[in-house]
């Protein structure tokens, strides 16, 4: 039960922060969902740092992992919203922004995880 509560608390905090970022930034650029993009990239960076520290120093317990990785990062990042936004771009025929949003999210997201691992090694 404790582990479920940790995931619940972390997920709630991550989801609330993502909501605030998306609400603030998603209308910044037309047809580019900056809030969702930044939440996903920051989440990738955080998960890289957290997992990297866990592997390097064994600092992260199972409970910390559930709170921070499964809970917070899981709630903060959002694949479902990302794909819904992609669908809306396809539905309106905006193939250029669909391609830019998809490729930048994937490439920068993978890079952010790698940078997070690199930071954890310092």
- How many Cα atoms within 13 Å fall on the side-chain side of residue 1? 0
Domain ranges for the chain, please list them.
2-120
pTM: predicted TM-score of the whole model, two decimal places: 0.90
Residue 67 near residue 7 (C-beta atoms within 8 A): yes
For residue 103, what is the DSSP state? H
Would you say 74 is a known binding-site residue?
yes
Would you say 43 is a known binding-site residue?
no
90 CA to centre of own chain: 22
Residue 13 near residue 68 (C-beta atoms within 8 A): no
Neighbouring residues of 83: CB distance < 8 A, sequence distance ≥ 6: none
pLDDT in tens, the chain (122 residues): 999 999 999 999 999 999 999 999 998 888 899 999 999 999 999 999 999 988 888 878 889 999 999 999 999 999 999 999 999 999 999 999 999 999 999 999 999 999 999 999 87
Cβ neighbour number for residue 51 with a 10 Å cutoff: 19
């Amino acid at each position: 039960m404790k582990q479920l509560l940790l995931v619940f608390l972390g997920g709630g905090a991550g989801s609330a922060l993502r909501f605030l970022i998306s609400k603030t930034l998603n209308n910044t650029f037309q047809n580019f969902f900056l809030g969702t993009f930044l939440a996903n990239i920051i989440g990738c960076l955080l998960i890289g740092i957290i997992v990297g520290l866990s592997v390097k120093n064994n600092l992260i317990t199972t409970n910390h992992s559930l709170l921070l990785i499964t809970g917070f990062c899981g709630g903060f990042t959002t694949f479902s919203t990302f794909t819904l936004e992609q669908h809306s771009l396809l539905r309106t025929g905006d193939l250029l922004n669909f391609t830019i949003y998809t490729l930048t999210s994937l490439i920068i997201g993978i890079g952010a995880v790698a940078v997070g691992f690199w930071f954890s090694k310092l």
